[in-house]
């Protein structure tokens, strides 16, 4: 072997080994889009409890354990640390020492790490990840929470993450609501991948979720929706959407770029729907379901009464 080639070969070998550990994916280029994700090691993206899914409301089962959540730090404007362009999405880093989620049928307390968004292309091309009876919303917001007793390095347990999903529905207003006008005003400061801007004391997570009844949600077990698609997520998808005006939604797909400002804007950063594979989606028992149950019970009691009276 040519001795001069050895350093070159070593460098190649090292770069191969290193790149195997990194997770390089994209949404819109053939060489790295979702069709290639199952080849990214470790191979979770072709698993059997993947996300997102279409929620078929007729198949949702009632679960009385899906009680109200307890949200800590969601009304505190010091918990949003900075807003980042990741090249795949817009991510807001949270202070996980101050923010957490418990209750809501979760078995543990989960610390809130970050939230980010998925969108289509302008408000005309929807981009939520989950759908309900085939309906796709304009955008989806994911608040990512990690179980307090789990370290990220060992986050391979089936309930290590609790992600809260919120649909964003487009309205014909402009500049509304104020909290979203405030949040989206920072997008122009992070046009390139890796750009980051401090947004402490500007707004609260609660203010971004106004109009959502957080006691009404769907629950199922799924995965991260980006590689390496680990099947470690307890999913909560809230039924009510956050209503945001079209002009603000449009800013996501015409302000932040996938890399430099010479590269395309980030658009359609949502994963295709995944197979349910026998999983069950649950939700709170509806009042109509309990009324129906009560009617049945009364009818049965009456039948018994008549039956025994006849004897």
Residues that bind Zn ion (CB under 5 A): 142
DSSP letter for 36, please.
G
Nearer to Zn ion, 224 or 284 (CB): 224
Nearer to Zn ion, 256 or 284 (CB): 256
Strand runs labelled E in the chain: 54-55, 61-62, 69-72, 80-85, 90-94, 100-103, 110-119, 131-132, 135-136, 139-147, 161-171, 196-198, 217-222, 233-238, 242-245, 282-283
Nearer to Zn ion, 86 or 245 (CB): 86
How far apart (Å, rounded) are the C-alpha atoms in residues 10 and 42?
24
The full DSSP string for 182-203 is: HHHTTGGG--STT-EEE-TTT-
Compute the least distance from the CB of residue 196 to Zn ion, in Å: 18
Compute the least distance from the CB of residue 23 to Zn ion, in Å: 14
Nearer to Zn ion, 142 or 257 (CB): 142
Compute the least distance from the CB of residue 91 to Zn ion, in Å: 9
Nearer to Zn ion, 142 or 243 (CB): 142
Nearer to Zn ion, 77 or 268 (CB): 268
Nearer to Zn ion, 237 or 248 (CB): 237
Q: Token pair for residue 251?
A: 């800013």
Residue with tokens 């993450």: 161
Phi, psi of 249, deg, nearest 5: -60, -40
| Number of residue whose CB is nearest Zn ion | 142
Compute the least distance from the CB of residue 203 to Zn ion, in Å: 20
Answer positive or negative: Cα dihedral of 279, 71, 73, 186. positive
Compute the least distance from the CB of residue 140 to Zn ion, in Å: 7
> What is the SS3 assignment for 308?
helix
Compute the least distance from the CB of residue 291 to Zn ion, in Å: 36
Residue with tokens 């199922």: 220
Answer positive or negative: Cα dihedral of 275, 118, 20, 42. negative
Compute the least distance from the CB of residue 230 to Zn ion, in Å: 13
Nearer to Zn ion, 208 or 284 (CB): 208
Compute the least distance from the CB of residue 164 to Zn ion, in Å: 10
Answer left, alpha or beta for residue 176, where phi above 0 means left and psi between -120 and 50 means alpha. Answer: beta
Q: Which residues, at least 6 apart from 309, have a Cβ–Cβ distance to it below 8 Å?
A: none
How far apart (Å, rounded) are the C-alpha atoms in residues 246 and 172?
6
């Amino acid at each position: 072997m040519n001795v001069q080639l050895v350093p070159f070969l070593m460098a190649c070998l090292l770069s191969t080994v290193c790149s195997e550990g990194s997770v390089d994916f994209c949404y819109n280029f053939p060489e790295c889009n979702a069709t290639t994700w199952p080849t990214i090691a470790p191979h979770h993206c072709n698993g059997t409890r993947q996300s997102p899914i279409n929620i078929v409301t007729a198949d949702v089962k009632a679960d009385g354990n899906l009680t109200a959540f307890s949200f800590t730090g969601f009304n505190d404007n010091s918990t949003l640390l900075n807003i980042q362009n990741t090249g795949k999405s817009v991510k807001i880093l949270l202070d996980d020492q101050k923010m957490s989620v418990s209750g809501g049928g979760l078995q543990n307390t989960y610390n809130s790490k970050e939230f980010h968004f998925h969108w289509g292309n302008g408000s005309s091309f929807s981009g939520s990840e989950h759908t309900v009876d085939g309906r796709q919303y304009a955008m989806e917001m994911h608040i990512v929470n990690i179980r307090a007793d789990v370290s990220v390095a060992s986050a391979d347990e089936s309930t290590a993450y609790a992600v809260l999903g919120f649909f964003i529905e487009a309205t014909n207003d402009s500049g509304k609501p104020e909290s979203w006008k405030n949040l989206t005003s920072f997008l122009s400061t992070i046009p390139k991948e890796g750009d980051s801007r401090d947004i402490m004391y500007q707004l609260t997570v609660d203010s971004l979720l106004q109009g959502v009844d957080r006691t009404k949600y769907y629950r199922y077990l799924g995965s991260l929706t980006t590689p390496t698609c680990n099947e470690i997520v307890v999913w909560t998808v809230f039924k009510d959407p956050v209503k945001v005006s079209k002009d603000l939604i449009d800013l996501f797909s015409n302000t932040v770029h996938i890399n430099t400002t010479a590269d395309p804007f980030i658009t359609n950063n949502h994963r295709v729907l995944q197979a349910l594979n026998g999983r069950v989606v649950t939700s709170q028992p509806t009042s109509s379901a309990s009324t129906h149950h009560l009617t049945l019970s009364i009818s049965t009691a009456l039948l018994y009464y008549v039956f025994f009276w006849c004897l």
